[in-house]
Each structure stands twice: as structure tokens, then as C-alpha cells.
Amino acid sequence: MRAVCVIGLGLIGGSVLRAAVRSGRPAWGATTSAEDAAAARAAGYEVLSSTERALERARERDALVVLATPLPAVGTVLREVNRHAPTTLLTDVVSVQEPMHDSVRESAPAARYAGGHPMAGTDRSGWEAGSAELFDGALWAVTIGGDTGLDAWREAALLALDCGARVVPASPAEHDAAVARVSHLPHLLAAVLASVGGDGGPLAESLAAGSFRDGTRVIATDPDLVRAMTEGNRAALLDALDDTLGRLGAARGALASTGSLNATLRSGHQARAGFYPAEPAEPVRTTVRLDAGHALRRLRELGESGARVVSLAEDTAVAEHRPVPATNDEAAPSGE
């Protein structure tokens, strides 16, 4: 099994190192945090003395390098990759993918790179918050940029599968647009809701129950981590924010004029039911030949249409997706 070298041993990087070892892979890490390094060593994991050493060993053993530092440190580490392991297999766990692909192209252009973003986390951070089980059953986007080769994508995807996740292939731009809506926007709305609730004073604090607790949960996260991911996805988040302001403004107008919130509440209820169907249908399986031309394009299209890769062999990938529901037109009597 291919060895894994994890740079950065916080919540996500630390969990990748544990999960890689759990799957039986040789794996080591490096971190600039003395605290995370000590905790990881105490738990029996191999942590090298420097990023340089870790990358040199990755080059010697043809390992997959996983970049798991906070977004602001990415540039520095990529320049080290370019110095010590320029043609390495490379992936990352960063929540914004288009800037990652740009940075790799700029700072480590010879690396064999596919982006990665595991959709898992907790409110806490650092090595101690992680676990080998963090990705079990989670989704893990593995992104395909203009320079991504099939081998690089396959190696990143295999790591995600070995960590217990299912893989969503996507282009970096489509990934960023989607997570702006379903991850970055929820963080921002949680912050605004917490502040508007706080402005209600001690009585509001006293009466806050489940809806407030759930609606604000994610802003308990370290605000610097939330800043890095939201600000790093500026263009896509602005787009999602404008949609939100539009819908919220329309709700405000309807409440003030007619007194009705029917349209807002009913469309939100229906949209959520689409995300979490009461009785999910049995998924449909599709097999993609990896030795065919356009395999990466086919995988990207599958991912962007909602499919997840659940297993990879030498020359095939198996993807699962929900059956496409019959449209109303098709389900309705033909009228004849």
C-alpha cells in the first residue's frame, strides 16, 4: 500500500494520519505545532522533526503527501514541496479548492496533484480533537483541475476510501460554489443569528432552546478557522450571500405587507426534504472504466450530478447515485 506523509497534524491532518495507519499504510507526519507533535508521538505515531525531513522521506518512498495545514500556511509548505519532493503525488484537505489548484500550479508545478476536501469535522481543533473514525461514512471531495492526471486523482481517492469515506469527484470551481452554499453560508448565518439573539439580552438568553442551539452550533468553532475558509471562498460566498439577502428580503417584504411567510417556509421545507428524504431510495450503481479516454471528465460529471465513488480497482471505479425521480410530466397520465 502506498505510504502517506501528512503535513499538519491538527483535527483533520491528525485524523488522516490515524486513519491511514488504521488502514495498514505506512504513514508519518510533520507539524510546526510542538503541542500537536508531542501528543501525536505520545499516541505512538511517527512525527518527523521537520517538514523538510518528512518531504525528503516522501520522495525516497514515493509516498502520497497530504497537505493539511491551515490555508494561510499553504504557500510556504508548497514551496518546500517544490524544493524537497518536486514531483511527488500530492493532495490536501483544504475547504476551498480553486485557490489550492492555483497555488499548486504556481508553487509546486511538477507535483502530481489532485485536490481533496473531506466533509467532516467537529467544533474543536488540534490533534487531540481528531480520531481514526472521523471520516467513516463521510463524503470526501477529490477535485479535478486542468492539470490533474488520472493517477494523481486515483491515489487521492484511494486514500479517502481507505479512510472510510465515499468520494465525490468535482471540478474545483463547482466544489467551491457548492460548499459556499452548504458549508460556508451556514457558518455565516450561525454567526449572525448568535449576534441577533445576543442583542435580545438576558431574557432571550434564558428562552433559547433547541432551534437556537442548533442554528448557532457551528460558530462555536475557532473563528480564525471559519475566517480562513469563508474569506478564502470570497466570490462563491458572495454569490450565495446575495441569494440569501434576496430571499430574506422577500420574506421581510411579504411579512410586512401581506403578513404571510408561506412561500418562504414552504419552499425551505421542500428544499430540506430534498436533502434528507424520509425514505431514501436504493442507490443505483454505475461503473466507470478508468482506462477509457475521458475517464476524468466522466467521473467529474458523475460527481457533479450527485454520485459518490464507493470503490476503486486497477481499471474501474464504482459510483453510487440516487435514482432520478420520475418528473411530474412523466408520472402524470398522458391525457390520451
Member of 203, 313, 326, 331 binding a second copy (CB under 8 A): 203
- Closer residue to a second copy, CB minimum distance, 39 or 229: 229
226 binds a second copy (CB under 8 A): yes
| Interface with a second copy in residues 141-180 (CB under 8 A) | 141, 168, 170, 174-175, 177-180
Q: Interface with a second copy includes 3 (CB under 8 A)?
A: no
- 327 lines the binding site for a second copy (CB under 8 A): no
> Exactly one of 241, 283, 286, 318 binds a second copy (CB under 8 A); which one?
241
Q: Which stretch binds a second copy (CB under 8 A): 34-42, 60-68, 150-158, 237-245?
A: 237-245
Q: Which region, judged by CB under 8 A, interacts with a second copy, from 19-27, 65-73, 267-275, 291-299?
A: 267-275
Among 149, 234, 286, 318, binds a second copy (CB under 8 A): 234
Q: How far is CA 240 from CA 5, 167, 176, in A?
A: 35, 24, 11
What is the rounded distance in angstroms from the CA atom of residue 231 to the CA atom of residue 239?
13
Closest distance between a second copy and the C-beta of residue 334, in Å? 28
CA distance 230 to 328: 38
Shortest Å, Cβ 36 to a second copy? 21
CA distances from 325 to 5, 282, 305, 308 (A): 43, 12, 13, 18
What's the Cα-to-Cα distance from 40 to each of 67, 123, 225, rounded to whole Å? 17, 20, 21
**∠ CA(53), CA(58), CA(62), 5° rounding?**
160
Say whether residue 210 binds a second copy (CB under 8 A). Answer: yes
Dihedral over alpha carbons 63, 125, 163, 107 (to 10 degrees): -30
Name the one residue in this structure whose C-alpha cell is 457533479: 304
Q: Return the residue of 274, 280, 293, 335 that touches a second copy, per CB under 8 A.
A: 274
242-261 residues near a second copy, rule: CB under 8 A:
242-245, 247-249, 251-252, 255-256, 259-261
Q: Which residue lies nearer to a second copy by CB, 274 or 335? A: 274
Residue 322 φ/ψ, nearest 5 degrees: -70, 145
Nearer to a second copy, 151 or 242 (CB): 242
Shortest distance in whole angstroms from residue 94 CB to a second copy: 14
State which of positions 276-305 bind a second copy (CB under 8 A): 276, 303-305
Q: Per CB under 8 A, which region of 52-60, 216-224, 280-288, 325-333 contacts a second copy?
A: 216-224
Site map 83..122 versus a second copy, x via CB under 8 A: ------------------------------------xxx-
Identify each DSSP E strand in the chain by its residue range. Answer: 4-7, 27-30, 64-67, 89-92, 112-113, 115-118, 139-143, 166-170, 284-289, 308-312, 316-321
CA–CA distances in Å: residue 309 to residues 169, 283, 306: 8, 12, 10
Q: Does 49 bind a second copy (CB under 8 A)?
A: no
**What size, in residues, is the chain?**
336
CA–CA distance, 100 with 117 (Å, rounded to integer): 11
